[in-house]
Structure 1
Amino acid sequence: MSLRSSLYAQRRPLLMVMALLGTGFLTVSLLGYYAAHASARESLLKTLYANLLIGLLVTLAALWIFYRLLNQYQRRIDAQATLDSLTELPNRRGFNLLAVQALHEAQREPRPLTAVLLELDDFKQLESIHGHIACDQLLSGFARDLTQSLRHSDIVCRWSTDAFVVLLKDTDGQTGLKIAEKVRQHMEKQRYFCSGKQLLVTVSIGLTTVQDEDTLHSLLSRTDHALQRARQTGRNRTCVEMPHSSYE
């Protein structure tokens, strides 16, 4: 069961309790009214109406506060479930939600869409030399620079510990390759000062473009194959892979 489903499931018992309280309040008031002497009923009736009005207002206010708090809590839970806490980028779950929609739009229109998978070179070696804290700061700075080097409409997510995935909307393969190379060269020049240490980083990049028959799995599989070739041929480079053909 998803977090969203579990939160919605909590509403039913709470609403039932509030409904029972309201029903009980109304029942007690009515019983008191009919048990009263006839001469006192007129004044009691006015009191009853006033109590019912007050009870209704209190119940409505409680319901409004309850829904506000529950919705705020739900939004926080949803954000935590789809965002990476270190980089504040969407995580894999968040990426899947965004990517499925982007892929559907690209194939329906149709419109070009380029997928890019970036991996920091020799990250495990950097981590063993400089430690986890410094490398966490490196990843945070890298994610910030990567996001700033792209358009607001592009989808940028953290894919794994040292990898990021990007979907370039309305971008064909040639333009996507130019953007990927621009990003790679930009990252190569960056200097990250983490825990008093200066860290340099390069990235290997795999790239492909969406095809009519693509699923999200097939699209990402090609970017991963292209990334593997970039690793195997020396790192710090961009490789492209298309269905039934590949080139560097």
Structure 2
Amino acid sequence: MSDKKPFEIARETLKQLTAGKLLPTPLNYQKIYNEIAGIPQMPQFPMETLRDIAQALPTKTPGQQKQRGLLEYAIDRMNWDGVKAALVAYGGFVPPPAEAGSGAASPGTLPGGAGDTTLLSQGAPALTPEFFKQVGRMIEFLQPALGNDDARFMEQTDTLLKAVKKPDVDAVQVKQLLVSYSDRLSFVAEDQAEIRKTLLKLLHLVFENIGELSIDNQWLSGQMDALKAASGPPLTLRRLDEVERKLKDVIFKQKDAKGHAVQAQEDMRKMLATFVERLSQITQSTGNFHAKLEESARLIEQAKTITEIAPVLKEVVGATRDMAYDSKVSRDELVAMRERAQATETEIAKLHQELDRVSAQSRHDSLTGALNRKGLDEAMEREVSNVRRKETPLCVSLLDIDNFKQLNDSLGHAVGDNALAHLATVARECMRPQDTLARYGGEEFVILMPDTAMEKGIEAMTRLQRELTKRFFLAGEDKVLITFSAGVAQLATDEKGSDAIRRADQSMYLAKRSGKNRVVGS
């Protein structure tokens, strides 16, 4: 290693380039620089050669497939350590050599030399063109979620799609392409997951920043907390819709509150302007009053008789009255303006409280925290739209607490309300994140279960019944067993959400008549 400083080495490198009449290319510069600095010469990374080697490696086992994918990934990033690790690991998955004389192909394989395709099991169904079309559709459906930032991945996708769409599909070629594609797909999926995670962090930072900037506005800070809670993982389209609605509420509040704040500032500005104007008038009046007093004192000193003093005293009394009247008028006007400013401030505070109350109650039931009828209608519309778009099942369950009137009559309405809240709490804990709980009215609740067929919907309601038997409701020190009867309906093609709820309601009454604490499908 040379003792020269980097700038000295660079200067000497340029001199030698000039003296040797060499082109100032990065390769020439690096070579001379390394010679002067005493740095070992490193060969240029042979990317294309290594790619050819990677493509030539057989992938007959899952281990070989994975290691070749890691090798290609390291080559793309010109990472010698990654190349070395992938090649060393690949050697551990090389199968033992076949016995001599075993030239016949083993059962369940397609002849094809080094690229033989081993079927999943002996007697597996043939790989039909329809199968490859399904593979192509699956890959096309994946594209929107994976983005188009990776040019090499897009190139691999295009090549694979063309291969599977050929009328005479080459199964061996498609297998090789799929192996390479699946490895690359795993890396792209990891990148997309990291991107999603980072974007979610950025979203939370925005919410936190808005909350910090509005620390004096408790109404806005509360909304920011709700937004952060709604945007927490697992992040689904349903939760994003909830974030959008809450954010719209915040924006509406900000606009409305800003308008009132601007009005309050304008009132304050007018009050201050009036105050300054009145202060100026008072100052002027006081100056005039003092001038009149001085003039009156001079006249009194010059007066020789009472008759001459009387007019002067009358003028002094009149000036004093005018001064007092002006002061009273100014004071009354300032007091009125101050009261108006205080009233505006009080109005803004009440507005914030009312907006918070209305925002919290617009879609949620205040007793149980579940969605109310309005929130249910919005959720149902969203779920039905998803069913039509994705062609997935949707189960609707309507449940009614058994003997609720008797519970109210014997233990009181307050206990009945607590029982409703208890049921809602247990139901939320048993539900999946994508399920929706709504209070339909009285002691009735509706649960929307997307991506759920009838049989699974009935199983879910049965699990909730079992959970309620384990978690007794406490009325004071007494344990009260709460049960419910439920009807379950799967949304039919072209059926309205309200019709599905109606069918679930009819099934719920059948469960009641069958002995209660039952689940009946529609």
What is the match of residue 134 of structure 1? 415
Q: Distance between the aligned counterparts of 1:239 and 1:211, measured in 2?
A: 17
- Give the number of the structure whose residues are more often helix, by fraction: 2
Q: Distance between the aligned counterparts of 2:450 and 2:397, measured in 1?
A: 11
**Alpha-carbon spacing, 1:85–1:20, altered in 2? closer, same or farther (3 Å):** closer
Alignment pair present for 1:235 and 2:516: yes
Render the CA deviation track for 1:7-31: whole Å, top value 9, x for unaligned: 899789859968998xx9xxxxxxx
**Alpha-carbon spacing, 1:138–1:19, altered in 2? closer, same or farther (3 Å):** closer
Higher RCO (CA 8 Å, separation ≥ 6 residues): 1
Render the CA deviation track for 1:94-113: whole Å, top value 9, x for unaligned: 11111111111112211111
2:397·2:486 contact (CA, 8 Å) conserved in 1? yes
- Give the number of the structure whose residues are more often strand, by fraction: 1
Match for 2:433 among 139, 144, 152? Answer: 152
Q: Distance between the aligned counterparts of 2:363 and 2:506, measured in 1?
A: 26
Match for 1:102 among 377, 380, 383? Answer: 383
Match for 2:405 among 107, 124, 148? Answer: 124
Q: Distance between the aligned counterparts of 2:355 and 2:412, measured in 1?
A: 35
Alignment pair present for 1:164 and 2:428: no
Q: Distance between the aligned counterparts of 1:18 and 1:191, measured in 2?
A: 54
1:135·1:194 contact (CA, 8 Å) conserved in 2? no
Q: Distance between the aligned counterparts of 1:75 and 1:103, measured in 2?
A: 30
1:133·1:195 contact (CA, 8 Å) conserved in 2? no
Q: Distance between the aligned counterparts of 2:352 and 2:498, measured in 1?
A: 33
What is the match of residue 474 of structure 2? 193
Give the Å deviation of 1:201.
1.4
What is the match of residue 463 of structure 2? 182
Query: Would you identify which runs of 4 or more consecutive aligned residues in structure 1 move more than 6 Å?
Result: 6-13, 18-21, 69-72
Q: Distance between the aligned counterparts of 2:417 and 2:476, measured in 1?
A: 10
Give the letter aligned to residue 197 of structure 1.
D
Give the Å deviation of 1:188.
2.9
Q: Distance between the aligned counterparts of 2:498 and 2:391, measured in 1?
A: 19
Render the CA deviation track for 1:44-66: whole Å, top value 9, x for unaligned: xxxxxxxxxxxxxxxxxxxxxxx
What is the match of residue 220 of structure 1? 501
- Partner of 1:157, secondary structure, is strand
Q: TM-score, normalised by structure 1?
A: 0.68
**Alpha-carbon spacing, 1:20–1:202, altered in 2? closer, same or farther (3 Å):** closer
Give the letter aligned to residue 425 of structure 2.
R
Q: Distance between the aligned counterparts of 2:392 and 2:353, measured in 1?
A: 36
Render the CA deviation track for 1:147-196: whole Å, top value 9, x for unaligned: 10111110011111211110011111111111111112222333111233
Structure 2: where are the runs of 5+ without partners? 1-248, 271-347
Q: Distance between the aligned counterparts of 1:174 and 1:185, measured in 2?
A: 17
2:491·2:497 contact (CA, 8 Å) conserved in 1? no
Q: Distance between the aligned counterparts of 1:126 and 1:111, measured in 2?
A: 39
- Partner of 2:447, secondary structure, is strand
Give the letter aligned to residue 174 of structure 1.
E
Q: Which has the larger radius of gyration?
A: 2
Q: TM-score, normalised by structure 2?
A: 0.34
- Partner of 1:140, secondary structure, is helix
What is the match of residue 57 of structure 1? none
Q: Distance between the aligned counterparts of 1:10 and 1:149, measured in 2?
A: 39
What is the match of residue 87 of structure 1? 368
- Partner of 1:82, secondary structure, is coil
Q: Distance between the aligned counterparts of 1:79 and 1:172, measured in 2?
A: 32
2:483·2:517 contact (CA, 8 Å) conserved in 1? yes
Q: Distance between the aligned counterparts of 1:76 and 1:216, measured in 2?
A: 29
1:87·1:140 contact (CA, 8 Å) conserved in 2? yes
Q: Distance between the aligned counterparts of 2:266 and 2:482, measured in 1?
A: 63
Alignment pair present for 1:209 and 2:490: yes
Q: Percent identity?
A: 24
Give the Å deviation of 1:208.
0.6
- Partner of 2:423, secondary structure, is helix
1:188·1:203 contact (CA, 8 Å) conserved in 2? no
Q: Distance between the aligned counterparts of 1:8 and 1:202, measured in 2?
A: 45
**Alpha-carbon spacing, 1:238–1:7, altered in 2? closer, same or farther (3 Å):** same
Q: Distance between the aligned counterparts of 1:152 and 1:233, measured in 2?
A: 31
